[in-house]
A and B are shown apart, each in its own frame.
Chain A
Amino acid sequence: MSKGRLYRVGAALLLLSILGILAGSNLPLSLFGDSVPIVQAQPAAFRDAIYQVVEEVKPAVVQVTNEQVGLAGFGQSTAIPVGVGSGIIYDAQGYVLTNNHVVEGASKIIVSLPDGRAFPATVVGQDPQTDLAVIQIEASDLPVAELADSSQPAVGDWVVAIGNALALPGGPTVTAGLVSATGRTIQESPSSNASQQIPGSGPYLFDLIQTDAAINPGNSGGPLVNLNGQVVGINTLGGGSTGQGTQAQGIGFAISMSTAKPIADQLVANGQVEHPYLGADYVALNPALSAQNNIPVPYGDYITGITTGSPAAKAGLQKDDIITQANGQDLTGDSDLALIIHAHKAGDELSLTVRRGSQTLTIQATLGTTD
């Protein structure tokens, strides 16, 4: 090949590739003459990211109205709205995932979509232990959101919370923030909603995603969405108050999809979920508490009650027993025992180290199931 031909071929190829780059980058093609570089702004990919997520997912975020009968004192039997929360349509058959506390006690549930349509909903299944529920509406052409697979979002990832904050009319609210932490464990109060969290006495929720995207009353049951438009969590708890009654800011919790998806599938298949169960009520000890009450061990779970006929009763556990270890693990954190039980199945045996008076015993307990 002659040099001239080489240069010709090289120039032609280079020209084509430059044209390709320019075509892809929206720069003007005139490299001659025009001295004013008109750099057309590339929309920064991240700049529109939240907007794109909203466009894709918001249509499937529903308002869930919980109506109950018999609260008016005039012999009325009409259902009136007692609460409003959110939900997410995740299947074309009309399945809606939400929190159990949003639909609990309802005699009638109304689901309203951002497009203006409203439908009565039936309960497919409820699970108080995980505060999840699946309800169903009958309709065609439903917008559907994609649930993320079991992998967790990373701490520091952007997430978008969509839901009916403060039940403001005119469509759901969108807030954005970061994943602040994953794998959180929080104990709900029995009638918990996003505005009244009283520590203690409700079920433990595990594997929660913590976020600073604003989560308010009314957001419960709505989706937490990643920048790919996939639902990574179900918003469940707002910051509420710490034990001392201080108002927290920028602290909210969503049940991660790695927990929620299997639960939803079980609720659709069976209408309920079985959880491993021991049947002992207890108070988690700490050094200060033990010292104040003359308890001989600084850590452990002090049993305050045993449910009749429960696995704990059958194993011979008694009130005032202190469980100090489960399967060889020291119980030093509040949620340690709950986490261990959560990691097992009904039928599994737990080996418990128990302090009874001045004795130390080993008790085998076979886990049962919740109803």
Chain B
Amino acid sequence: MNPRELSDGAWKALLVFLVIAGLGACATSQTGTALTATPTSTTSAASGGLALAATVTATTPADPLAADFAQLMSQVAERVKPAVVQVTNEQSLSFASQSGEIPVGVGSGVIYDEQGHILTNNHVVESATKLLVSLPDGRAFPATLLGGDARTDLAVIQIEGDNLPVAHLGDSSQMRVGDWVIAIGNALALSGGPTVTGGVVSATGRTIQEPATSQGPGPFLFDLIQTDAAINPGNSGGPLVNLDGQVIGINTLSGGSAGSGVQAEGIGFAIGTSAAKPLADQLVATGKVVHPYLGIGYVPLNPALSARYNIPVSYGGYVTTVTNGSPADQAGLQADDVITEVDGTKLQSDSDLALILSQHKPGDEVSLTVQRGSQTLNLKVTLGQAQVLAQAQAGTN
């Protein structure tokens, strides 16, 4: 036998080995995604399932990987649900000689770190004298309000407990229209654990004004994720979750309240975590959020509006009022100016102006590119500080 060749026996052994390896390769190459986390929920009751109230129930499609997808939705829901809490807002009320705390509202929240910090909406905890947090595993804790911000409708509360389930915050800016999401929360305050609904990201970057309250017009919320996963009263403050099991939004509004009394369906909005996380951090650190202040009233432009009014730019802020003595006034902004760029960044959606400004701090200097008639100007503004308790008005900043 030539010493540089393998013996017949060796080739036979190699062949057998390769057959076995080949079978293994075939088997594993068909495997879909496997989540590494094991479900921790002890709740045995089946939760809501997909919100698609189909006249026909979805049957298993021919695509073999789609079966994995169906399981993926429920696996993600089971993994995150334990960290979705019910937040009960109790207030002191006195009738005649009786007084005490009674529950005036129920919403949702999500435990996002091991220290028991819970992210929720400000409107869920507003005016509470006592906050009660209940977990799906049956445990209940009193909660401390660390801070709430009416302008962004976010709040952070905290509970003290051992072995708390946690749902981590992800990066909402990675979400794409058409991606699947799951909403988890205490819809209609139904007893027996939170509700799970599923749907897709319908749009990103939405700007919606919250409904008015007895205290005045609602604040504008920016850069919202829109979804057709069912969001109902009671869902407020609960998480919107991606298929990697990360919280990418805080469910805040359902479409029914999107103005003009129109009954909408399949339209809900969540505050993206990319915006919410830094605000949550500020609330934990200082108890409040400091907002930069410009001092203008403006109408956000979009292509249809610009085309209609013959404004030469598709997007921007059309200034309607300039507050006397404000930073905008001092910088020389005037009514009828159109702000087209901030620090050289062209405005490309109708919430860009507010969004970019909101990323600044009081004291920051920003450069505004302004269209005044046929002139293009560059104005430098030093941002002031907004009053913390003032209700935001239509397109003001």
Residues of A at the B interface (CB closer than 8 Å) are: 2-4, 7-8, 10-11, 14-15, 17-18, 21-22, 24-25, 27, 31, 37, 39, 41-42, 44-48, 50-55, 58, 63, 65, 67, 81, 84, 110, 112-113, 116-118, 155-156, 158, 160, 165-166, 168-181, 195, 210, 212-214, 216-217, 238-239, 247, 249-251
Contact = CB atoms under 8 A, between A and B. Distances in A.
Given A7-B8, A214-B266, A37 B200 contact: no
5 contacts: A7-B12, A21-B29, A84-B304, A168-B226, A176-B199
Given A7-B15, A44-B33, A54-B177, 9 more contacts: A4-B8, A18-B25, A21-B22, A51-B178, A113-B303, A156-B59, A212-B55, A214-B228, A250-B266
Contact of B54 (A27, A52, A180, A195): A180
B303 A118 contact: yes
B210 to A, nearest CB: 15
B202 A47 contact: no
B390 interface: no
Contacts of A42: 31-33, 65
B304 A112 contact: yes
Given A46-B61, A54-B177, A116 B303 contact: yes
A249 B53 contact: yes
A173 B267 contact: yes
A50 B59 CA distance: 17
B22 A17 contact: yes
Contacts of A22: 25, 29
Contact of A166 (B8, B255, B300): B255
* Max count, chain B CB within 10 A of own CB: residue among A21, A24, A44, A67: A44
A238 B262 CA distance: 12
Contact of B15 (A11, A24, A158): A11
A106 to B, nearest CB: 13
Contacts of B350: 169-170
Contact of A47 (B59, B177, B180, B205): B180
B104 interface: no
B266 A175 contact: yes
Contacts of A2: 8
A356 B52 CA distance: 50
B164 interface: no
Given A21-B29, A22-B25, A47-B69, A216 B202 contact: no
A44 B200 contact: no
B54 A41 contact: no
B201 interface: yes
B4 interface: no
Contacts of B199: 175-176
A10 B265 CA distance: 62
A47 B21 CA distance: 29
Contacts of A155: 56
A186 to B, nearest CB: 14
Nearest to A238: B265
B203 A18 contact: no
A216 B260 CA distance: 13
A160 B200 CA distance: 10
Interface in B1-31: 7-8, 11-12, 14-15, 18-19, 21-22, 25-26, 28-31
A250 B226 contact: no
A44 B53 contact: no
Contacts of B304: 63, 65, 81, 84, 110, 112, 118, 169
B307 A15 contact: no
B177 A174 contact: yes
B63 interface: yes
B52 A14 contact: no
Contact of B202 (A11, A175, A238): A175
Given A170-B205, A181-B55, A214 B63 contact: no
Given A14-B18, A18-B18, A176-B199, A51 B177 contact: yes
Contacts of B212: none
A166 B201 CA distance: 16
Nearest to B226: A173
Contact of A21 (B8, B26, B300, B315): B26
Contacts of B203: 168, 170-174
Given A22-B25, A47-B69, A210-B55, A174 B200 contact: yes
B25 A25 contact: yes
A34 B258 CA distance: 55
B334 to A, nearest CB: 25
B29 A250 contact: no
Interface string B299-320: 0101111111000001100000
A165 B28 contact: no
A247 B53 CA distance: 14
Residue from the set B243, B266, B315, B351 with the largest chain A CB neighbour count within 10 Å: B266
